[in-house]
Structure 1
Amino acid sequence: MTTFISHQAEQLSALLSERLGVHAGVGFAGKLAKAGRRLPRWARRDGAVIVTAMQWETHPMLSRQIDHDRVARAVKNLTRHLGGLDASKRRKNKILDLIASIAFVVCVTVGLILGIMIWRDLI
């Protein structure tokens, strides 16, 4: 059972690199920490369950206390969530958000300039 959790954590680590673009960090725990707020709260909690199980699996007495059903559920949830993400769609949305924020700043700046010009009777 010990290689089971580590093997699945390696697969999840590859998915984090592939789908979220998290290349920093060593192993699943490091990549999960670097992913941070890009993952929803429930996914971070599930990731913490897996990291704890990975730490416990090396200890002979603690390895008996691992809740394998909970770990399997956490792995399944994370795999489903990360499998549904699309890297190109994420990049496209990031670019569109940047363009929208730039357009908003330009509109506010033009509005302020026009407001000041009207206030000073220049127009």
Structure 2
Amino acid sequence: MDLQARADKVAELIEARLDVRGAGLEGKLARAGRRLPGHLRRELGYVVEAMRMKASPRLARQIDWARIDRACAEAERYLRGVDPWERRRGIAVNWLAGNAFNLLIVVALTAAVVAWRGL
């Protein structure tokens, strides 16, 4: 499998599993940010750099193909383990918990003001 096909496959997985849009692997990688672990961002950054290096015949000889294979395989393994619905459910639960806590504080402060004023 050539470099562009591997990069497209990883980019497709990033879009499907992390719900990240962007143009190609480079755009998706930039927008994914901290949704990807640091070591994966670094290794996929090398894949993007290798795609640029491949355009020049002199630089193409310096590409570490074993590193690219490891990076793509590791990224695919990580992304296949991500459940998009579980991630969305976690976001919704965190949002609800934060709002419930804020509502609790408002109710407690209102009760304190009512008690303080003797109403």
Q: Same fold (TM over 0.5)?
A: yes
Pick one of 56, 80, 102 that aligns with 1:83.
80
- 1:45 maps to 2:38: no
Pick one of 3, 27, 40 that aligns with 2:24.
27
Structure 1 residues 92-111: aligned runs within 5 Å: 92-111=89-108
Identity score, percent: 38
Structure 1 residues 8-23: aligned runs within 5 Å: 8-23=6-21
1:109 partner letter: V
Q: Distance in 1 between matches of 2:116 and 2:44?
A: 56
- 1:57 maps to 2:54: yes
| Superposition TM-score, scaled by structure 2 size | 0.92
Q: Distance in 2 between matches of 1:63 and 1:119?
A: 75
Q: Distance in 2 between matches of 1:121 and 1:69?
A: 75
- Deviation of 1:116 after TM superposition, in Å, equals 2.3
- Deviation of 1:115 after TM superposition, in Å, equals 2.2
1:82 partner letter: L
Please provide the CA RMSD for this pair: 1.4
Structure 2 gap segments, 5+ residues each: none
2:81 partner letter: G
SS in 2 for 1:15: helix
